Structure 1
Amino acid sequence: MGPFLQKGTVLRGHPGGAYLFDKDGKLILETQLVNNILVINSSRSNSFNPISSSDSLLIHQRLGHPGNDLASRMVPGVDFSLLDCTFYSLFKAHRLPLQGKFLDALFPLNVIHMDICGPIMLATCVGNKYIFQTINGFSIIRFTFPLKRKYDRLESFVSFKRLVKNQTGRKIREVVSDNGGEFVNSRFTNLFKKFGIDHLVTAPFTPQQNAISERGNRTLLEKIRVLLADYQVPTDWWGAACSMATYLLKRTPILTIGFQAPICKWGKLTSLQFDHLHPFGCTAVMHIPKENRVSKVDLTCSLCMFLDVAEKHHNFSLFDPKSKRIVITHDCNSEDGETFWPTHYSVSTPSPHLSFPDYLLRSTNPTVEPVS
């Protein structure tokens, strides 16, 4: 009892034991007399050591620096409300909740959210490792650009800017991106100044402020994985899957815009049709024009892999394993339930280095990567 009494506590005895009170008259502990020995009754004690309320910092240290409210519950006899623990502030600090966000888009091209996804370790057949994605904040419509290098993002943005201006007749007002060097550099800064575009950047290490782009990347990658896995297409065809995923996501209703499809709110379509769609990677039967047949007894069709649908008309992109080319055709029938790769093309065979027409190379359609 010596250490307790030195702290100014008061010991009051009774026939069955004793009570120990602090300076303010609060009960610290109760003892019982057992064989002429005072035994502490832990169930009635408000402190477990000879420390008064003035030593709250030491108790806080012994408890491992819990929160003040929690410490008060653990040791009811000690007041922690005025405790200022430096270690607790330094090592248990948390991020503050976001108090605001960038302004919502009120019309097309009011706000454009953009980001780069990658590098994707397994490059496509033509060497693409990145996906540059822009999302319109008004309609949530997205445009994707597979890139070989991050450096190519500026050229892709310029192509996107021209495309959407021709489609809507409007100009881009604001662009939202992260604070990384991909977009915060002299090349983009000069471009934004030239066209009067306001560039809004997120705080460092705060991707939540650009939630539309971050969520857009996640949604796009999830769709790509599903398309590749469903018909067992090798992963280095992710570029073609990206094109098909973009086409589908433009036509998938979104709750945040009133369960409308982005392409409908964008104004390009008034209604949706899905009867022309086929599963990515399924077997397609392509008609061979008579101009491409050597003799009259040649086969009139060829088995191909279905890849994509053209954006403006229902032409199809197919992979022809015989010529190892990506072909564009309108005359094809798809076997929707039959996989192409394991059935008609060996899984162990690496994806071929494809050849394709020059006009496909010059295509500026951001949703199509004809060879991948």
Structure 2
Amino acid sequence: MTGDASLFTNLKSKNSGKVTFGDNNNAKSIGIGDIRKNGETLIKNVLLVDNLNYNLLSVSQLCDKNLYVFFSKHECLILDKNHVILFKGARHNDVYVIHLDKIINSNVKCLTTSIDNPWLWHRRLCHFNIDLIEKLAKKELVGGLPKLKFFRNKICDACQFGKQVKISFKPKNFVSTHKPLELLHLDLFGPTQHASLGGCKYAFVIVDDYSRYTWVLFLVHKNEAFEKFVKLFSKIQNLLNLKIIRLRSDNGAEFKFGGFPEFCDHNGISHEFSVVRVPQQNGVVERKNRTL
């Protein structure tokens, strides 16, 4: 309730009887309406009381409107059902005072901002070279980009991480095998962007470690790899009169499952797998893939 009629945006004259205060004095209610601030309704159904010199909020009526009211030693808070602060009041002596011109949840919009932090612009422009950003700003080639001056007193962490690389593997300048078929390197790549004339989008690459002779088997589906390998296995062993001793591949499902483990156990072949995410350990065939 209030005695100031200028606070109302829509006021209806209504005789609602009398209002009794804590000291048993009473005053006449002469109207009811809504109070707004910046076009937003703050409090509805506020009574206009004749000759009332203060603006009073009823805690019980706030609770009836499903609002939450919290009191502490120095302040009080009024929250909506989503626990968003609507009003915040400070304690003066034994009274909690809320200033309507300092509403927490006011409808304020920020239309523009100006930030001249050069390192922020460095991140906004996808970590461009600092000299390039200064040149863009100096020649006004980017709209809205302020003239920046970088102080070379820090390093961009993201740029440092992005430029880090793994320690390169030392090249192997000698062949550790002594005869053909002692070690075969296996890999499968695909699907390729374009299919072959036979409709194949996968390639099964096999490289002999000793001679670097390469077989390329085209596949329509990845699960054909084992069947193709079995046919090639018999052919090359009969052709060279030698036995395959070891296989080396990555951890692809087509090598760890699908018949390869049982086949290797049955024929006494040792199957070696490279460490996960270390393709360099199977680098012979990986390099051949790049050539293909």
TM-score, shorter chain, exceeding 0.5: no
State TM-score, norm by structure 2. 0.42
More helix by share: 1
State TM-score, norm by structure 1. 0.34
Larger radius of gyration: 2
